[in-house]
């Protein structure tokens, strides 16, 4: 085994351990029955109280409506971002549009500033336009922040698609819309699914906009509800909070592993 391979495997092992340690602590301490938690973290599993902890987290934080809200925000925003990004990638790469590089930077520039910069102007504008504390308001902002990265991925994937197919279809008289729907979309399906997974996870895990642009329990996403569990109930111990964190993470884990083959294939160059 070469030195380079040893260094690579060693680095990957260290990174895996660094990622697994906090995950292990989260799982082990979520297993501890809330009534027997001593206040210090457990490193090895002892008793099993996970389901009871999850049940208490679900009831006390009222996670049911929050789950529905986050599912709505994540699905609608991710789908809208994928649709917009796929159309934009088609327009800037496949269609004969002038200043393609300029359009790329105009759209992608949305990722260059930290999201915290937008909090104050968003709060003020939402309050003035009655979008504050509404589901449509969160859908709009989640879609807007998801488009730039989605466009970046879809544009790069579009660069690998065969141009000969498009040229042949145009010579046969196909309209741009037909080329997009019948050729570009089927060829880009794996990348579209991968982008959907990315954006679904990003929206599902958002806390900042959820606590800034909403106040009502029937509007707040699941991460904001989970934050309320720790902030508003001083008698709730860490095992219940950690069990709640595991519970709200399940949809993203299921989605990622169910779409794993599309995610992997989208990372490969199209030949």
Half-sphere exposure of 243 (CA within 13 A, CB side): 25
pLDDT, tens digit (0-9, with 9 covering 90-100), for 169-211: 878 778 888 888 888 888 888 889 989 999 999 999 998 999 9
- Taking phi first (over 0 means left), then psi (-120 to 50 degrees means alpha), and beta for anything else, what does residue 62 get? left
How confident is the model over 43-65, as a mean pLDDT?
Answer: 82
Q: Does residue 25 fall inside a structural domain?
A: no
73: CATH: 1.10.3720.10
Q: Does residue 91 fall inside a structural domain?
A: yes
Contacts 24+ apart (CB under 8 A), 170-173: none
pLDDT, tens digit (0-9, with 9 covering 90-100), for 226-243: 887 776 545 677 788 888
Closest listed residue to residue 88, CA positions, set 146, 167, 172: 146
Closest listed residue to residue 227, CA positions, set 203, 244, 239, 213: 244
How confident is the model over 145-167, as a mean pLDDT?
Answer: 87
- Taking phi first (over 0 means left), then psi (-120 to 50 degrees means alpha), and beta for anything else, what does residue 63 get? alpha
Q: Does residue 57 fall inside a structural domain?
A: no
Closest listed residue to residue 158, CA positions, set 220, 109, 94, 71: 94
CB atoms within 10 A of CB 250: 11
Q: Does residue 162 fall inside a structural domain?
A: yes
| pTM for this prediction | 0.83
The owner of tokens 């806390």 is 207
Residue 168 structural domain: 62-266
| Residues 259 and 95 sit within 8 Å (Cβ to Cβ) | no
How confident is the model over 20-29, as a mean pLDDT?
Answer: 81
pLDDT, tens digit (0-9, with 9 covering 90-100), for 119-151: 888 899 998 888 999 999 999 999 999 999 999
| Residues 234 and 34 sit within 8 Å (Cβ to Cβ) | no
Total domain count, the chain: 1
Q: Pick from 46-50, 54-58, 133-137, 241-245 the range whose average pLDDT is largest.
A: 133-137
- Rounded distance between C-alpha atoms, residue 244 and residue 233, angstroms: 13
Cβ contacts of residue 198 below 8 Å, gap of 6+?
149, 150, 153
Q: What is the pLDDT of residue 271?
A: 43
Q: Does residue 271 fall inside a structural domain?
A: no
Q: Does residue 39 fall inside a structural domain?
A: no
Q: What is the pLDDT of residue 234?
A: 52
Question: Is residue 160 pLDDT above 50, yes or no?
Answer: yes
Q: What is the pLDDT of residue 200?
A: 95
Q: What is the pLDDT of residue 270?
A: 44
């Amino acid at each position: 085994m070469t030195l380079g391979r040893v260094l690579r495997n060693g680095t990957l092992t260290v990174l895996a351990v660094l990622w697994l340690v906090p995950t292990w602590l989260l799982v082990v301490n979520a297993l501890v029955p809330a009534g027997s938690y001593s206040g210090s973290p457990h490193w090895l599993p002892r008793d099993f109280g996970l389901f009871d902890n999850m049940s208490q987290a679900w009831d006390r934080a009222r996670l049911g409506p929050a789950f529905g809200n986050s599912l709505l925000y994540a699905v609608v925003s991710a789908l809208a971002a994928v649709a917009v990004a796929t159309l934009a990638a088609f327009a800037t790469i496949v269609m004969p549009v002038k200043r393609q590089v300029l359009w790329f930077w105009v759209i992608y520039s949305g990722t260059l500033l930290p999201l915290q910069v937008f909090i104050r102007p968003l709060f003020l504008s939402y309050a003035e336009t009655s979008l504050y504390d509404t589901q449509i308001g969160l859908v709009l902002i989640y879609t807007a922040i998801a488009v730039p990265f989605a466009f970046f991925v879809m544009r790069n994937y579009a660069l690998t698609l065969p141009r000969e197919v498009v040229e042949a279809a145009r010579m046969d008289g196909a309209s741009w819309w037909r080329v997009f729907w019948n050729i570009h979309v089927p060829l880009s399906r794996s990348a579209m699914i991968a982008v959907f997974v990315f954006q679904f996870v990003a929206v599902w895990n958002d806390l900042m906009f959820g606590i800034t642009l909403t106040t009502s329990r029937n509007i707040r996403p699941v991460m904001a509800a989970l934050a309320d569990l720790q902030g508003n109930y001083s008698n709730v111990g860490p095992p219940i909070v950690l069990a709640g964190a595991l519970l709200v993470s399940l949809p993203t884990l299921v989605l990622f592993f169910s779409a794993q083959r599309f995610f992997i294939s989208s990372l490969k160059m199209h030949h």
